[in-house]
């Protein structure tokens, strides 16, 4: 009897399929991966499989982007003290990671011009769900104003996060230019409004100048701004237009695409709400000898001190990815971030000109950041031509009224040759 048979016998099971008996048959996939191989044979097989990969031209975006990552970022986060770090419950032996997370909080607070940033969340979408819950804790009001074009995944995650609370969603619309409709939004704000979710750039990829004016009509509601961190190289930060909570996906800040994860949630807010905030906060203090020391502070946290009063269930955080974001922003500096943001906008402009030259126009005429929405939906032809993208609008949002539209996204890595190839591939369609 071999080792596999002994293991199954000890578990009172006859086959490996019995290990998955709790999973309904219709949800299972073929788990037959072949017979065990030696290390040498396994590596040879993997190389053969990987040889089938195709280096595609990328026009994917809408939340996760292919940006250039300085090699120094990966070098820094590969250090053992960062790579193996966990929740720093014992500050006396965790000063290195606490210092790094304190710097992360400081850098993101500077970037957003917000008072406080926590030491990271899971990702941007779940951070938005936490932000809605935080606003509810602050004012106890029942209505959440949400853009009608918000990504379907964001909407569903928010609804999951507020499940059980006495809240409802009210959608507001957009004008003919694809920007936030201030009149429609204003008509829906009332004494029951808890929070107003605004996006800049918005879900159409447009830089939304009306997002800055929401503070003029918000009454007593809290403004939750979902922003693009790279865009803040050239756009006003959310703190400058009176956002109460600022949320973002931090993948663009030195984190590889990695087939969609892991990700990093950026979560900043006004200091008035610090006792209602989720996640962890790192503070600067002094030890008994008067030396500078970093600590976890205001610790009403999940599985730790005063956990009965915890504001969230963030049982771990994205410390390694927060260090990557800190390294990335520190390497770039302010001028580097401005340069990348400017290049991105210019690349979007060039892409729109290139597509227009072959008869494919944008849905809206505004200024786009990374994501560009075109009147085109025959994206099935692109894979055969070695192009990753676009993404149909109907696949990622519930919004009705705009048909036959798809996103094509750019970054500083998108070359003129890439755009030429896309245009030639789509010519005649």
pLDDT digits (tens, 9 = 90+) for 44-63: 999 998 888 878 999 999 99
pLDDT band at 316 (very low <50, low <70, confident <90, very high): low
The rounded distance, in Å, linking the Cα atoms of 27 and 152 is 23
Residues 322, 349 share a domain: no
Q: Over range 378-389, report the average pLDDT.
A: 89
pLDDT band at 31 (very low <50, low <70, confident <90, very high): low
Residues 85, 37 share a domain: no
Residues 150, 116 share a domain: yes
Dihedral angle of Cα 209, 210, 211, 215, to the nearest 10 degrees? 130
pLDDT band at 260 (very low <50, low <70, confident <90, very high): confident
DSSP secondary-structure letter at 56?
Answer: P
Q: Over range 299-323, report the average pLDDT.
A: 76
Residues 193, 264 share a domain: yes
pTM beyond 0.95: the answer is no
Residues 222, 80 share a domain: yes
State the average pLDDT for the chain: 92
Asked if 166 and 117 touch (Cβ cutoff 8 Å), the reply is: no
Asked if 296 and 283 touch (Cβ cutoff 8 Å), the reply is: yes
Cis geometry, peptide bond prior to residue 6 (ω within 30 degrees of 0): no
The rounded distance, in Å, linking the Cα atoms of 117 and 245 is 10
Residues 388, 316 share a domain: no
Considering its fold, how many domains does the chain have in total?
A: 3
Residues 416, 378 share a domain: yes
Domain end residue (candidates: 287, 306, 328): 328
pLDDT band at 314 (very low <50, low <70, confident <90, very high): confident
| Nearest residue to 209 (alpha-carbon basis) of 200, 221, 196 | 200
pLDDT tens per residue, range 68-110: 999 999 999 999 888 887 777 788 888 999 999 999 999 999 9
Contacts of 156 (CB under 8 A, 6+ apart): none
Beta bridge partners of 195: 144, 222
Contacts of 306 (CB under 8 A, 6+ apart): 299, 300
Q: Over range 367-375, report the average pLDDT.
A: 97
- For 343, the domain range is 57-68+333-426
Residues 295, 151 share a domain: yes
Beta bridge partners of 374: 362, 406
**The pLDDT of residue 384:** 87
Domain end residue (candidates: 307, 328, 349): 328
Tell me whether strands 143-147 and 57-58 are parallel, antiparallel or unpaired: unpaired
Q: Over range 154-179, report the average pLDDT.
A: 95
């Amino acid at each position: 009897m071999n080792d596999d048979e002994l293991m199954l016998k000890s578990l009172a099971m006859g086959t490996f399929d019995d290990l998955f008996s709790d999973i309904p048959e219709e949800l299972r996939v073929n788990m037959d991966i072949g017979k065990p191989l030696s290390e040498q044979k396994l590596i040879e097989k993997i190389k053969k499989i990987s040889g089938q990969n195709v280096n595609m031209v990328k026009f994917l975006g809408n939340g996760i982007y292919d940006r250039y990552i300085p090699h120094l970022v990966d070098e820094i986060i590969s250090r053992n003290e960062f790579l193996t770090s966990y929740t720093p419950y014992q500050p006396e032996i965790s000063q290195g990671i606490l210092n790094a997370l304190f710097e992360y909080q400081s850098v993101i607070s500077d970037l957003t011009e917000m008072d406080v940033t926590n030491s990271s969340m899971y990702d941007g979408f779940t951070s938005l769900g936490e932000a809605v819950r935080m606003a509810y804790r602050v004012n106890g009001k029942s209505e959440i104003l949400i853009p009608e074009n918000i990504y379907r995944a964001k909407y569903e995650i928010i609804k999951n996060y507020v499940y059980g609370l006495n809240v409802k969603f009210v959608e507001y619309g957009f004008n003919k230019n694809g920007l936030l409709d201030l009149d429609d939004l204003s008509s829906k704000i009332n004494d029951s409004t808890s929070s107003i979710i605004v996006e800049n750039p918005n879900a159409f990829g447009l830089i939304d100048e009306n997002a800055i004016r929401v503070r003029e009509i918000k009454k007593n509601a809290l403004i939750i701004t979902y922003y693009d961190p790279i865009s803040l190289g050239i756009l006003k930060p959310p703190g400058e237009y009176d956002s109460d909570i600022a949320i973002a996906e931090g993948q663009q800040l030195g984190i590889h695409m990695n087939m969609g994860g892991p990700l990093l949630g950026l979560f900043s807010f006004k200091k008035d709400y610090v006792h209602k905030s989720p996640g962890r906060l790192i503070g600067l203090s002094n030890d008994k000898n008067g030396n500078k020391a970093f600590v976890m502070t205001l610790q009403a946290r999940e599985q730790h001190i005063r956990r009965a009063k915890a504001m969230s269930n963030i049982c771990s955080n994205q410390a390694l990815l927060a260090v990557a974001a800190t390294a990335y922003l520190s390497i770039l500096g302010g001028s580097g971030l401005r340069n990348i943001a400017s290049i991105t906008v210019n690349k979007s402009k060039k892409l729109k000109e290139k597509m227009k030259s072959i008869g494919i126009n944008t849905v809206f005429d505004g200024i786009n950041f990374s994501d560009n929405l075109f009147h085109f939906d025959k994206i099935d032809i692109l894979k055969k031509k070695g192009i990753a993208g676009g993404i149909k609008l109907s696949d990622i949002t519930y919004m009705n009224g705009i048909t036959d539209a798809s996103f094509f996204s750019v970054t500083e890595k998108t070359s003129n040759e890439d755009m030429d190839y896309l245009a030639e591939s789509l010519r005649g369609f």
